[in-house]
Structure 1
């Protein structure tokens, strides 16, 4: 049993799952049952909806069952970030360490079985967020309560003796100074929408009471400083804090050597301790901005498991630092990209496994020169924002061999012309998003460019007189979104006889 109890022999299931089933055996039965449809043991032909749903939960394979029941830690019908869900499953030990592919497979299987619905998809088609519908809500909570899998003050007044997970939907400020104490609580998540300000003494007492936590998510609760005593939660794997005033990452944090996910999206860190290079299990760093220190001269190791960083300050984009992050797959760089142009442009090639890259410039005016960038060939998703490029970015970007999604967003390019003239340019591109190119009035394409394009979004296209004729030769193109198109462009679209059945065209703010 999860709480270390031994299973009594008189509770072992004999002669069918519902024969001689005692109260003490319910947790074992619900979590491990699933070899035969439960309906076979129920009398009558009609099964009530809730009971039927419970049966479908019980019949899941064990690895899917615990992932499914874990959805109860989220409010029903709320959008759940799949990235966060995968990280939590991993921290709880439901999936192997550093195995996002396994988590994605589990999610898709739960979607196929009707327990989860897709809410949003990313431009490349992967699932960005999901939710579990209200029809699943009641049955999941009944199973979770019966197994003492999760507890919330909104469910019952007193915590159950063996509960391992607690979540808060409201009144976090009332929960913290309370006398609740369970030294074996391993997960605490705050989903309160209120930005409560937590007192220092309450945070300190909380860390003392729940010293075996693996997951700590304080959500929107505001802290004035790094919580004292948190460095003693040596089992922590997932940590999310909201400390807007924090500028320097405390060295105590680096003693949490089991930490896999560190989320502090409201913190802009100017200085980090050298000891951060000792945190070998780190996989995800999510900050408003973070500056990584140069590795100590006597330290040759790397953060080899780090796969996600957002947002890295450009000052940290040196060959030495990026060279110590060999397995980074997703990277967002935000800051003065003009000032650090040479440093960033020549260091990105160190990231040979980089797939997702977002560059956000924060300097005015921008002096970025995209042709100087040495992008790793592994890139599949690229996004530029506020880069204010003077030169046409297409001749540089069309040479990237595996890019599937390209987003040129908020003032990324200030020119009037785009030209994809290379034969076979953008060989794998599926999604092209052109946003806030206010002066774009001419776009040309070479024959054979973007052969796999599926979706095109131009927002706005107020001065664009026509789309390249080569677009209509792309057999894979199905989706076209145009915002504020000229009357001339609108009229051209009406001339295509097969427009309605072949393309999903959306014109804003008016129809075609």
Structure 2
């Protein structure tokens, strides 16, 4: 389109440019000029890859990606520019049609571009450059159709940009320094695509009289104001709008009649709508329900977000997801209801045949999720499951929710395709359904949810591959062990901040488990890891202050485990057997060990074995220990070593065996005086001390490290 190769009939008949472009794009796909197409969640093409043969052909024609301007023919039409090749001759500028300065860093060079010299330029790509200001001479580019300033620090746009009467695409995505848009934007009557983001929070209103831009197909945002020419009715004439539209500051709309003047129901190509009211508190009664009633969309809608709605109930079309003439919004793929804090009921959603993603957050006044959540009473269908296509469900911050009932019996299992369930912060919940969730793969539980309802939700779940539980004092050992026992295909388990968890038995049936992580469970006393974790690659047990027993057998993980962390559990008295068999281990962090046991010997046991791939090791000790674990000397593949909290006075001579060591950290070793043996570690590039207040550290602070000959070969020596 920017090249001027797509044409529309002047009488409006025939295909629009965008449709023609899609047809040509599909021809390229069908003939394998492009392939490996990536689609978004609405089925639209995001991008495709160029076929290798086409790429090679284009490179052979281009000769080089960014040619030296000295070698570029005078009549070149397409020119990408980089930092090294930016000497564009004046005689070349008059023939240029496309100029790409994508991610170019030289702001001075860009700022000095004499735009009048580029009089036939149709494409100017400044995405990701360091430009912070455009000169007014850009208004001379009267043939410009495409301008991209995305991801640049541009602060303002000159008014002369509104003289670009042929401009079809203006992209301002991620322009976080931009504070306002020119008031004369209404004169860009050819503008079809206006994409903006990154500075929306600082905009108070849109440029006035946007209604004149009747060619617009893409408008990312519209910020409502009560100023003349900036109200919501400016959208009324923009019936060609397509794709996604976000409307902000809806609290500034007066009533239903005013919101209806946006004529959203007539915009048949709009696929995604986001309605946002201001987060600031609004005292007394509001007209949010009236306003939303007037914003009924077209039946082709695929995505709907309602945020900060302040009414105590949704309007009828939202509650039934059906608009005028009884048209159901049956093309909806995702729905987000966010922070609608006054609402007392969730709409009926289970009947939507294509709904895949549902997120309900911050509906603090909803007390019950009843049968109407699944079906309207008069339309319940036998044999048709509720939420038949739903894949992702999130219910969070439902602080008044006490009851979530079972789906009505229609002869089919509800949520048959649900793969992801996130439940968070239901402090008042007493009852919950026990659906089978036959396809559930990922379960996330966080904050207060209640043991009984959680047990109900989880007791029939048997298909999980990922389980994450955090910040939840209601989760018990029985619940976690039930989930581990019933879900034999689990691959990832992460549990944290669960203070009601006291013990944990990991069953031997988890043959697919890859990652196992437990941290900050302050009352966890024992963990028993049984045999059978033959696929385990990553295990992290840390910051569990009461943990005493860590028992189990690690032999079956010998050919898989690469990362092991058992650290900052100061009361720990045991470690699993078989750590000497972990031949694939590349990273290990262990200690401190309880003073009630022979901790130094346990550390030695953990370091036994050849460990030929171990590259990174962190050891946490005890200031009473005057030596390091002697098994350390055999770990000759180590590249990084951290020694924390030992009472050693000297680095032992056998340290010279660690000939591959490149980085060494010695923290909280307050008695350390002698590091002479480090002179043998010729690969050491970084040495750090800290926290120990040792005599050695003070000497290093008060003098130049180069005065220590044993350290002179180390480029970076730090005292933290």
- TM bin, normalised by shorter chain, reads 0.5 to 0.7
Cα RMSD, aligned residues only: 4.3
- In 1: Cα distance, 2:422 partner to 2:71 partner: 55
Shift of 1:331: 5.3
Shift of 1:263: 1.1
* Residue deviations 1:124-178 (CA, integer Å, cap 9, x gap): 3223x22416xx34x2233224445x9632699833555422235x53xx54465
Tell whether 2:197 aligns with 1:313: no
Checking the alignment, whether the CA contact within 8 Å between 1:284 and 1:307 is kept in structure 2 is yes
Higher fraction of helix: 1
The alignment partner of 1:220 has SS state of: coil
Q: 1:491 to 1:387 in 2, by over 3 A?
A: closer
Tell whether 2:4 aligns with 1:93: yes
Q: Which of 265, 287, 293 is the equivalent residue of 2:196?
A: 287
Aligned to 1:303: 213
- In 2: Cα distance, 1:107 partner to 1:388 partner: 40
Shift of 1:285: 1.1
Aligned to 2:35: 116
Q: Which of 292, 299, 322 is the equivalent residue of 1:399?
A: 322
The alignment partner of 1:263 has SS state of: strand
Residues 168-183 of structure 1 correspond to what in structure 2 (within 5 A)? Answer: 168=81, 171=83, 174-176=84-86, 179=89, 181-183=92-94
Tell whether 2:241 aligns with 1:328: yes
Shift of 1:256: 0.9
Aligned to 1:483: 422
Shift of 1:218: 0.4
- In 2: Cα distance, 1:474 partner to 1:209 partner: 68
Q: 1:120 to 1:329 in 2, by over 3 A?
A: closer
Checking the alignment, whether the CA contact within 8 Å between 1:405 and 1:432 is kept in structure 2 is no
Shift of 1:230: 1.1
* Residue deviations 1:26-80 (CA, integer Å, cap 9, x gap): xxxxxxxxxxxxxxxxxxxxxxxxxxxxxxxxxxxxxxxxxxxxxxxxxxxxxxx
Tell whether 2:350 aligns with 1:411: no
Checking the alignment, whether the CA contact within 8 Å between 1:361 and 1:386 is kept in structure 2 is yes
Shift of 1:237: 0.6
Tell whether 2:291 aligns with 1:372: yes
Checking the alignment, whether the CA contact within 8 Å between 1:213 and 1:235 is kept in structure 2 is yes
* Residue deviations 1:407-432 (CA, integer Å, cap 9, x gap): 4447343368644459xx97675344
Aligned to 1:77: none
Aligned to 1:187: 98
Residues 149-160 of structure 1 correspond to what in structure 2 (within 5 A)? Answer: 152-153=65-66, 158-160=71-73
User: Which structure 1 residue ranges, 5 or more long, are not aligned?
Assistant: 1-89
Q: For structure 1, which segment, 302-311 or 476-485, has the greater mean C-alpha deviation from structure 2 after superposition?
A: 476-485
Checking the alignment, whether the CA contact within 8 Å between 1:306 and 1:328 is kept in structure 2 is yes
Q: Which of 443, 461, 469 is the equivalent residue of 1:507?
A: 443
Aligned to 2:147: 239
Checking the alignment, whether the CA contact within 8 Å between 1:204 and 1:230 is kept in structure 2 is no
Aligned to 1:226: 134
The alignment partner of 1:132 has SS state of: strand
- In 2: Cα distance, 1:232 partner to 1:471 partner: 67
Q: For structure 1, which segment, 463-472 or 283-292, has the greater mean C-alpha deviation from structure 2 after superposition?
A: 463-472
- In 2: Cα distance, 1:154 partner to 1:368 partner: 60
Normalised by the length of structure 1, the TM-score is 0.63
- In 2: Cα distance, 1:490 partner to 1:109 partner: 52
- In 2: Cα distance, 1:109 partner to 1:394 partner: 44
Q: Which of 483, 492, 497 is the equivalent residue of 2:434?
A: 492
- In 1: Cα distance, 2:328 partner to 2:22 partner: 22
Checking the alignment, whether the CA contact within 8 Å between 1:306 and 1:327 is kept in structure 2 is yes
Q: 1:155 to 1:175 in 2, by over 3 A?
A: closer
Shift of 1:214: 0.9
Checking the alignment, whether the CA contact within 8 Å between 2:214 and 2:239 is kept in structure 1 is yes
Q: Which of 358, 378, 390 is the equivalent residue of 1:433?
A: 358
Shift of 1:394: 7.3
The alignment partner of 1:91 has SS state of: coil
Shift of 1:202: 3.7
Checking the alignment, whether the CA contact within 8 Å between 2:312 and 2:344 is kept in structure 1 is no
Checking the alignment, whether the CA contact within 8 Å between 2:136 and 2:159 is kept in structure 1 is no
Shift of 1:215: 1.0
Residues 112-151 of structure 1 correspond to what in structure 2 (within 5 A)? Answer: 112-114=30-32, 115-122=34-41, 124-127=42-45, 129-132=46-49, 136-137=51-52, 139-148=53-62
The alignment partner of 2:54 has SS state of: helix
- In 2: Cα distance, 1:453 partner to 1:281 partner: 44
Aligned to 2:394: 459
- In 1: Cα distance, 2:274 partner to 2:280 partner: 18
- In 2: Cα distance, 1:417 partner to 1:471 partner: 26
Checking the alignment, whether the CA contact within 8 Å between 2:135 and 2:158 is kept in structure 1 is no
Checking the alignment, whether the CA contact within 8 Å between 2:311 and 2:343 is kept in structure 1 is no
- In 2: Cα distance, 1:482 partner to 1:392 partner: 25
Checking the alignment, whether the CA contact within 8 Å between 1:250 and 1:272 is kept in structure 2 is yes
Shift of 1:309: 0.9
- In 2: Cα distance, 1:457 partner to 1:341 partner: 36
Aligned to 1:357: 273
Q: For structure 1, which segment, 216-225 or 314-323, has the greater mean C-alpha deviation from structure 2 after superposition?
A: 314-323
The structure that has the greater radius of gyration is: 2
Aligned to 2:302: 381
The alignment partner of 1:216 has SS state of: strand
Checking the alignment, whether the CA contact within 8 Å between 2:110 and 2:131 is kept in structure 1 is no
Aligned to 1:442: 369
Tell whether 2:262 aligns with 1:345: no
- In 2: Cα distance, 1:151 partner to 1:206 partner: 25
- In 2: Cα distance, 1:347 partner to 1:474 partner: 43
- In 2: Cα distance, 1:116 partner to 1:407 partner: 27
User: Which structure 2 residue ranges, 5 or more long, are not aligned?
Assistant: 9-15, 445-465, 468-482, 488-720
